[in-house]
Amino acid sequence: MNRSFTYFSKIKGNFLKTPSPNLHLGFGFCPHNTFLPSRIHSNSSSNAHNDKHPQSINQKVNNLDDALNLFDEMTQRRPLPSIIKFTQLLQSVTKMKHYSHSLNLFKQMCLLRVPLDKFTMSIVIKCCCQLHRTKDGFAALGFCFRRAIVPNVFIFSALLDGLIIEDRILEAEIFFKKLIKEKLCEPDVVMYNTMIKGLCKISNNVIAISLLKLMDERGCKPDVVTYSTVIDSLCKDKLIDEAFKLFKEMVFQKGISPDIITYNSLIDGLCKLGRWDEASKMLQEMLDDGISPDVQTFNILVDAYCKEGKVKEAEDVINIMLKRGILPDLVTYNSLIDGYCLRGEMSKAKSVFDSMEFRGIFPDVVTYNSLLNGYCKSLKIEEAMNLFHEVTRKGLKPDVVTHNTMIHGLFRVGHCGDARKIFDEMLAKGLKPDENTYRIILEGLCNNHKIEEALSLFHLMGDGKLNSDIVVYTILIEGASKCGKLDDATALFQDLINKGLHPNVKTYTVMISGLCREGIVQDAKQLFLQMAESGCPPDNVTYNVLLQGYLKNKHYDDVEMLLEKMDELGYSLDVSTLSLLIDSIAAGSLDTAMSTLIRKLVPDELMDSPSWPYDVFS
């Protein structure tokens, strides 16, 4: 018996589980009995293919209607056309990404008793997997084994891709390893690339690189897709130096020429790290290699500039695009609108938004979310509400981000009731709030002095993930402290320690601020000293908060030592702390000899300010 058939019983247990009798594949057949009528047999005639996919596609097929008409015509012929012709037609429909229609045609082929082979089945399995129905794909694999159709590498690649599409990466990895271990299939470059894509999808770069080395050792040469996939993943994880190391290996050791995708990944990675000069050099290198930037290349640059607040530079990039005959797309406009919104230039953002339809580009939810965020940050809540309702009127579906943004904006202007109403609407629409939703609500309640409601909501959450979220604890500790409920803040701080959570620098800082606000400076100092011992050293903000606590509570003896430590660490004074220091020196509470040390800690932007009080330190 062929090893493939013996192995099927092993992989079946892991991936198929025996389908229930009422499970249908969407073709109108049940996998146990009538998935395909039993009278249908595999094709063993002279019509059998060679070991490649059928390459020719009927010239009559230019669109779906052509394909459906041709299929109807073929079904009327007697004798029926060969399986090759039917499979070629099925392939052409699948290439147009009409996967459901392909499966419907396959159903009709079964009813016509058209003989089937591994190439037909590979198309069917691919369609199932592309429709997120990988379970049905494995059921179809079962049919292959039962009908003595030996699966080929295309079938296994389609199933592997299906698992990855459904984010079942661990199952995909187990499946891939079993294929090799059981020698059921020798992976080709496409299958290796598929598995590497899955590993990169979950940022498992180490295993992805190991697999790249393994395929080379097994005699399957990596191609530009293999390297580009890993390089892109490394860039997304900000491991740009490792990405360049792999890039050099690809070019200089393997002799593989990079393509536009490789360059785009590297340029994107450099831009996100603010390494503009290197990004510019990489762009020039791409041009020198004869590769012209595409719309994605320009979008990467536009987006990076906009996120840095450099909208003028982003506009220059768009002008270059237009000169090169490349039209901006939806992504370009979304980035530009977001850039203006981040700068608070709402009139310019709205102007770009209004110009989109004129250029034949229609805003999506992302566009609306950016504009909505801009209005909310600018506290233009009426405009935000009008835009929020416009999303639905335009036939778009507001997502969780849309609702989160609106809720946050309403809380910022104190409209707690309206924020709650939006939250209720969100639930009524069947949208599932995410962690950010609850953080926004808790912070909104705290900022509006509704600490009791916030604590009540927190306790209602039970022992879920949010009750183990350090960000949530920090929000509540700060809220309780500002509302004068230090006991609640202290209890929350102790609770997170008891749960084994580790306070971050902000958690410590808000707790220190709360203690200082209540005049308990010694406890604040003790907590400050505890930070370094806990592996979470104080930052610039923490030093300023404690220094303000010392000054407001007249603990002048510790001020000089703290200032010296700030100087040693290269930290600086903020405006509030500096103002308190100036007042203390003017009142004679601090020695004027400290003025030299204080001057060293003043940021350049404050030193250059016309309001800088030189006379205090003269």
Among 125-134, 291-300, 598-607, which is the least confidently predicted range?
598-607
User: Does the pLDDT at position 37 exceed 50?
Assistant: no
User: Does the pLDDT at position 348 exceed 60?
Assistant: yes
CB 340 within 8 A of CB 374: yes
CB 330 within 8 A of CB 359: no
pLDDT, tens digit, 9 for 90 and up, residues 545-568 = 999 999 999 999 899 999 999 999
Among 27-31, 36-40, 191-195, 542-546, which is the least confidently predicted range?
36-40
Angle 277-283-285 from CA coordinates, rounded to 5°: 105
**b/e map of 44-60 (b: 16 or more CB within 10 Å)?**
eeeeebeeeebeeeeee
User: Does the pLDDT at position 383 exceed 60?
Assistant: yes
CB 150 within 8 A of CB 5: no
What CATH number is given for 201-291 in this structure? 1.25.40.10
pLDDT at residue number 13: 41
User: Does the pLDDT at position 31 exceed 70?
Assistant: no
Tokens of 375: 């209005």
User: Does the pLDDT at position 360 exceed 60?
Assistant: yes
| Domain definitions of the chain by residue range | 1-44+57-186, 201-291, 434-538, 544-618
Nearest to 304 by CA among 407, 391, 235, 400: 235
pLDDT at residue number 59: 60
* Residues facing residue 42 across a β-bridge: 116
User: Does the pLDDT at position 12 exceed 90?
Assistant: no
Residue 250: CA count within 13 A, CB half-sphere: 24
Please give the C-alpha separations between residue 446 and each of 294, 472, 491, in angstroms, as whole numbers: 47, 11, 16
User: Does the pLDDT at position 25 exceed 90?
Assistant: no
Q: Coil, strand or helix: which one is 19?
A: coil
pLDDT, tens digit, 9 for 90 and up, residues 361-382 = 999 999 999 999 999 999 999 9
Give the mean pLDDT of 267-274.
93
Give the mean pLDDT of 34-51.
35
Give the mean pLDDT of 448-463.
87
Type of residue found at 273: L
Give the mean pLDDT of 494-498.
92
Residue 478: CA count within 13 A, CB half-sphere: 21
Residue 145: CA count within 13 A, CB half-sphere: 22
> How many other C-beta atoms are found inside a 10 Å radius of the C-beta of residue 537?
12
CATH superfamily to which 434-538 belongs:
Tetratricopeptide repeat domain (1.25.40.10)
Asked if residue 79 has a cis previous peptide bond (ω within 30° of 0), the answer is yes
pLDDT at residue number 10: 41
pLDDT at residue number 610: 57
User: Does the pLDDT at position 9 exceed 60?
Assistant: no
The confidence band for 7, taking pLDDT boundaries of 50, 70 and 90, is: very low
Type of residue found at 324: R
One fold for 201-291 and 434-538: yes
User: Does the pLDDT at position 4 exceed 70?
Assistant: no
